[in-house]
Structures are given as structure tokens and as C-alpha cells.
Amino acid sequence: MTPGETSSDIQKETIFAYGGEWMRRAIESPGVYVTLFALVLILRSPTLFDSMYLVDEGYSGAIASEMLYGGDIYVTAVDMRPPFIYYTYYAVFLLFGQNNLWAVHVVAIGYILATALMVRKIGCLTTGTQTGGWAAVGYIVFSHTYLPRDTLAANVEFFALVPLTLSVLCFFLGVRSGKWTYLLLSGMSCALAGFHRTPCLTQMGVFAGYFAYAFLIARTLSFRATVIQGLTVLTGFSVVAAAVIGYHKINGNWEEMVYWTWTIAMRFVNVDTTVAYVVRRLFLVHGTVILAAGLIWYFGVRQFIASARTLIRDRSASAAQEWLIFGWFAVSYVTLFTGWRFPGHYHLMLMPPLALLAGRAFTAFMGRLAGETAERRRRIHRFFVAATLIPAIGFTVYAYIIRKQTLSFTPITDYIAMQTRPSDRIFVWGASPHLYSFSNRRMAVRLTTCGYLVGMFASRPHKDIDESKWVVPGSWEMLDEDFEKHPPELIVDVAPISSNWEDQPMSRYPRLVKHLEGYRKEATVNGADIYRRNSS
């Protein structure tokens, strides 16, 4: 006992020491797998009850449902995202039933756990088992410390991160072992990630940066090795890209896929905004995401700066490999600014490289902490526990509180299901594609959202920009054609109850009013006006 130290102090320190040692062993031992699984299960437990935290699940569900009916993505049901998120939902619906979001949520848990295990493996390869363990824990915990709509919905980011992280892992294994199979798999996985989420393709630039650094600066790769390894990665990428392109060409929807996932997606990115709106989003969304996950951002950014110094000063093989994590985070961060909206779920793409950077810095910090006084160690331990548990528990509890509210639209879908036949089609005016999948009624119009008809896209200063110039060319002709082919039995107008749609009533659009002449208002359910075809 040191002067001024009481028996109570010693007891507290013993508890903290024991807890720290237990955590260290749990992180390093095979028990880490149980720890990771338990964390994912707890933090995503609200999704194991009926819920739909974000409308994006509705877009994916509506298109997957259309595929179950025999339709084609980008032809009979259109949206701007690459195809693999729809294939994922389609596969789940095919196996477990139409619109089975519970099954989708379970699959998402598996994807998140798979990403965490690969993050751990990368951390073990680069620094050690402690870094890998802390990185995996950090990835899981701080991927869930924000609004449930961004972290709990089965968003495309969670599905894209599996092939993207696998690509980085295989690249590490390939450059370390020299085995071409790993490099081939790395390229293939990167292409798969790109067909989930287009910005993932920038990872190929990170790999190119590694080869440039290793050959030109670190001098750890010969010209021949650089060319062979680089071409191997590119070959793997090209094989998958060619297979996907070939499939869609055979299916007859390749041109439509390019149009919607590139041409229209770029219109979405370039939609007008204002400086004030961007600054507000930067602080209120990006800033709060960082604040809620402050612990991992603090250590991650510290290590990012340290890695930058290493890349400048150290020209070794290890520095070249350090570029992979550094570049992965840097490129992912830049793509966050696409469209100047900074949605919370976009930040999920940063979490694996950020967790790896933070895991390394945190492990080093904990090593240095052992030399500090007992009182300082206690204060720091308490702070770390609070900075982790408060946001994690807080947002999980909040998710349970609002869970039932996420399904407040079900009286509308119940009405649709009861008042129509399974063979009937419906049309929803607004941006509520989940009404199609939840009512199990087919889309009468190929557009998953009427935003294409009015030029209104998500997270924009709608009151301050001229949205009419962003109407998708030919969208009204698509609506006319689809109404002619298969007129909807019901038209559901959700504009009165939808955010930002109060200035977009159906009466504002003469072409739609003309179609409404053949319909009569039948009911108002949960604020949504429902019209039935007169011939019924």
C-alpha cells in the first residue's frame, strides 16, 4: 500500500486490473467469437421483432417482390442502386417467404458478424491478436451508436462490406504470401462489392496505390512482380464484372441497368443543394455521428495521422502494407461526401478501416496505461466504459421505444390486402415503396418512388431549389405506358402524410389528374387517400 492509498483503493484497482485482464484474454482467446456474436445479437435485437427502421428496406423489398412475380429489375421495377442488394433480398424472400424482413434482418446479423471476423483477421495480420480483437469489437459496437434508421435497417452498406472487407483481407494475404489465388479473389470480391454499392469500386484505386508505393517509393516490389500481382487483381475483378454484365445482357436489361444505376444515379448525386444546407448536414449529421462514436474516432484519427507520418518517413514493406488501411479509410471518407448529404448509414462504410486504425492505437495506449498511477487508470477505465456503453445502450433502448412506430403504416397495407385480390395491382403516389411489399400487391407502375416524376430526391433543401429540372426524362411516359398496360385497382395517395410531399398533391400534375378521372375516392386510411377504379 502506497502513502495515501486506502484498502478501498486497492480493492477497486484489483477489480479494474482483473476486469482488464479478463477483457484482454477474451479479446485474444477463441472466446472472442462468442463475444462478437453476443454483441451483434444484443445490439441488433430490436430487428428480431417486427420493424422497418428505414424506407430503403421498402425499396429493396418492393423490387425483390416484383422479381418474385416474374418481373425484371430496371425494367418492371426501377431504382438507382446496383443489382446485388435486390438479389440478396430476392434470395431471402424466395427461401423464407415474400416480404420476410425478419429473415432479412437475421441474414444481416450474419453479414455483420462475418465482417467483424474479417476485420479481426486483418488486425491480427497487421499488428497482433489484441489489435484484431479490439478492432472487431469496435466495429460492431460503434456501427450501432447512431439513429436506428441508419444502423439497424438492413441497408446496402452492411451487405457491401462483406465482399469489400474480404477483398482487403485477400489482398493482404496475397501480397504477404505471394499466392496469386488470394489476389485473384481480392479482385473478384472488390467487383462483387461494387455491384452492391458503386463507391466500393474506389477500393481498386487503393490497391493501385499500394503497388505504386511498393514499387516507386518503398522499392519492395520489382517491376515484374508489380505487373503480375496488379494484373492478377485486375483479372479477378474483370471476371466477375464480365459475368454480371453478361448475365444482364442475356437477360435483356443491361442497358436499363446502366441507365438507372449510372445516368440517373449521377443525376441524384448532382441535384441542387445550398451551402447552408450542406453546412447544416455536416454538423447535424456528420458531426453527431462522430460525437456518438467519439472513442473510436479519437483513436482512429490519431492512428491515421501516425500512419501518414510512417508512409512519409518509412519506406519499408510494412509501410507499404500500412497504406492499405490508411488508403481504405481515406478513400471511404472521401466518398462520404458524394451528393453532399452525409446520411448516417453512409458512415457505416468507414467503420472497418476506422476500427482497424483505432484498434492499433487503442492497444498501444492500453500498453502505456499500465505504467500510470492506479487512480489515473481507474478514471480512464471509467471513461472508456461510459463512452462505449452510454451510446450503445442509449440507441438500443431508443430503437425499442420507436419500434412499433416504424410500422405505423400497416393499417394502410392491411386495407389494401383486404380490399383487393392477389392479382390486382396498385399505384402509390409518394415515396412509400414498402406499401407494395407489405400489402403483397404488385406495382402497377415500374417507378418505386414518384420522386422520379417530380424531381424530388432524399435529403435535399426542397424549399430552396427548383426540383422540376431534376425530373427523370421519360418518367411520365413510363407512367402513362404502365397505366395503359395494367391500370391499378387502387391508387394510394400518401402525399398528405409524407415528409416534404405536402407541396406535391396529385392535383398539381395534369397527366395524373387525367388518369384519376377513371377513379373515385373510396376511403381515407391513416391519413392516406385511397381511390378505386370505376370499372370495378
The predicted pLDDT at position 530 comes to: 97
Query: 425 pairs with which residues across the strands?
Result: 442
pLDDT at 314 over 90: no
Mean pLDDT for the chain overall: 91
In the three-class reduction of DSSP (H, G, I as helix; E, B as strand; rest coil), residue 184 is classed as: helix
The predicted pLDDT at position 339 comes to: 82
The predicted pLDDT at position 29 comes to: 64
Q: CA 489, CA 477: separation in Å to the nearest integer?
A: 20
The predicted pLDDT at position 249 comes to: 97
The predicted pLDDT at position 487 comes to: 95
162-213, pLDDT tens digit by residue? Answer: 999 999 999 999 999 989 999 999 999 999 999 999 999 999 999 999 999 9
- Provide the percentage of residues in the chain whose pLDDT is more than 70: 92
127-145, pLDDT tens digit by residue? Answer: 889 999 999 999 999 999 9
Q: CA 188, CA 267: separation in Å to the nearest integer?
A: 28
pLDDT at 365 over 60: yes
pTM comes to: 0.92
pLDDT at 53 over 50: yes
pLDDT at 458 over 90: no
The predicted pLDDT at position 13 comes to: 43
Highest mean pLDDT among 240-254, 333-347, 462-476, 493-507: 240-254
Phi then psi for 532, rounded to 5 degrees?
Answer: -115, 145
Q: Which long-range contacts (CB under 8 A, 24 or more apart) does 417-424 make?
A: 417/441, 419/490, 419/522, 419/532, 420/489, 420/490, 421/489, 424/488, 424/489, 424/490
